[in-house]
Amino acid sequence: MNSRRRFLTLSALGSATGFSALSAFGQKKPVDGPVILSTWNMGLRANDRAYEVLQSGGSVLDCVEKGVNIIESDPNVGTVGIGGFPDIDGNVTLDACIMDQNQSCGSVAFLQHIVNPVSVARKVMENTKHVMLVGEGALKFALEQGFKREMLLTEKRLAAWKNRKKELDGQIPEINVENHDTIGMVARDADGNLSGCCTTSGAGMKLHGRVGDSPIIGAGLYVDNDVGAATATGWGEAVIENAGSAMVVELMRHGRSPQEACEEIVKRIANKFERWKDIQVGFIALNKAGETGGFAIQEGFTYARHSGGQNEAIKSKSLLRK
Ligand code: ASP
């Protein structure tokens, strides 16, 4: 949409809702330059890499993809990519998605043996007519695209899985607040264009074949270049049930700041999910003006923000306190 048309649309929205065109997007104080936001403390490393990519002339889509790639490729991170915690049968299965400024998106789910699922998701977006590939089909596609087949289960994670199996003694694990460390990243370049991605090995000890929110466009990630972008971490089932990230973006469209939008959706999930005190769910969001926000159910959620040339870890506000 050209900018004049967009301004008129915003003005119309403003008069209908009582918000001015600018405050409809929370643009009290636009932030200059790139802004990169990602989940958890590991986001600091990912943001540094993402910023480097932008500085060396990469697109905002390159920036989010390459940013999270370094976390996927790190075997010491137990919740993303290689070294991820296995499912109940001992298989590491990965979920990821990516979305750009043109509303294009790609996704892979229940993908095994590939270290960088987010890059496969990008290939799905760019080299096929589809949005989502899963399981064997996703693996076949990845190999055809030149990705290498690798062993994702590390010795360390295998030992942890064996212990957990013994503890469970045939039981299905309860839902809990542990092992929620998906990396989701949303970014805006200096021209104001947005992209995002999300990548995870999912909930530890999940049933074989389980897919969480992270590869689901609208749940684990949503980007609308006219408004903003959001991504999620935590108990994926609750995020899917509430179309979490799409709702955060929709609230920003209707005038909430990123912070207000994240808080409202976390509260909505808490109202609707009976055992909400037993789960963690966190969102981060960024709007077109470069404003950011984050909120979670449980204390302990952190996110990383690169803005104005500074990269910092932010302790999220939460509904519950320890
Ligand atoms: N959201 C992810 C999932 O449910 C898990 C996480 O964030 O740790 O698969």
- pLDDT value of position 17: 33
Rg (CA), the chain: 19
- pLDDT value of position 41: 95
Nearest to 202 by CA among 170, 165, 240: 240
Atom of ligand 1 nearest to the CA of 210: 9
Spacing, Cα 18 to ligand 1 middle (Å): 37
| Known catalytic membership, residue 182 | yes
- pLDDT value of position 10: 35
Q: What domains can be seen in the chain, in order of their start residue?
A: 31-308 (3.60.20.30)
Distance CA 281, CA 252 (A): 19
- pLDDT value of position 156: 95
- pLDDT value of position 21: 34
Counting ligand 1 atoms within 8 A of each CB, the residue from 110, 197, 200 with the most, and so the one to mutate, is 200
pTM: 0.90
Counting ligand 1 atoms within 8 A of each CB, the residue from 213, 221, 266, 297 with the most, and so the one to mutate, is 213
Counting ligand 1 atoms within 8 A of each CB, the residue from 182, 198, 206, 302 with the most, and so the one to mutate, is 182
SS (H, E, C) the chain: CCHHHHHHHHHHHHHHHCCCCCHHHCCCCCCCCCEEEEECCCHHHHHHHHHHHHHCCCCHHHHHHHHHHHHHCCCCCCCCCCCCCCCCCCCCCEEEEEECCCCCEEEEEEECCCCCHHHHHHHHHHHCCCCEEEHHHHHHHHHHCCCCCCCCCCHHHHHHHHHHHHHHCCCCCCCCCCCCCCEEEEEECCCCCEEEEEEECCCCCCCCCCCCCCCCECCCEEEECCCEEEEEEECHHHHHHCCHHHHHHHHHHCCCCHHHHHHHHHHHHHHHCCCHHHCCEEEEEEECCCCEEEEECCCCCEEEEEECCEEEEEECEECCCC
Atom of ligand 1 nearest to the CA of 236: 4
- Among the listed residues 39, 79, 182, 233, the single catalytic one is 182
Spacing, Cα 220 to ligand 1 middle (Å): 8
Spacing, Cα 281 to ligand 1 middle (Å): 9
Spacing, Cα 231 to ligand 1 middle (Å): 11
Nearest-CA residue for atom 9 of ligand 1:
202
- pLDDT value of position 173: 74
pLDDT in tens for each of the 322 residues of the chain?
333 333 333 333 333 333 333 333 334 567 889 999 999 999 999 999 999 999 999 999 999 999 999 999 999 999 999 999 999 999 999 999 999 999 999 999 999 999 999 999 999 999 999 999 999 999 999 999 999 999 999 999 999 999 999 988 888 776 665 556 899 999 999 999 999 999 999 998 999 999 999 999 999 999 999 999 999 999 999 999 999 999 999 999 999 999 999 999 999 999 999 999 999 999 999 999 999 999 999 999 999 999 999 999 999 999 998 7
Looking at residue 34, its amino acid is P
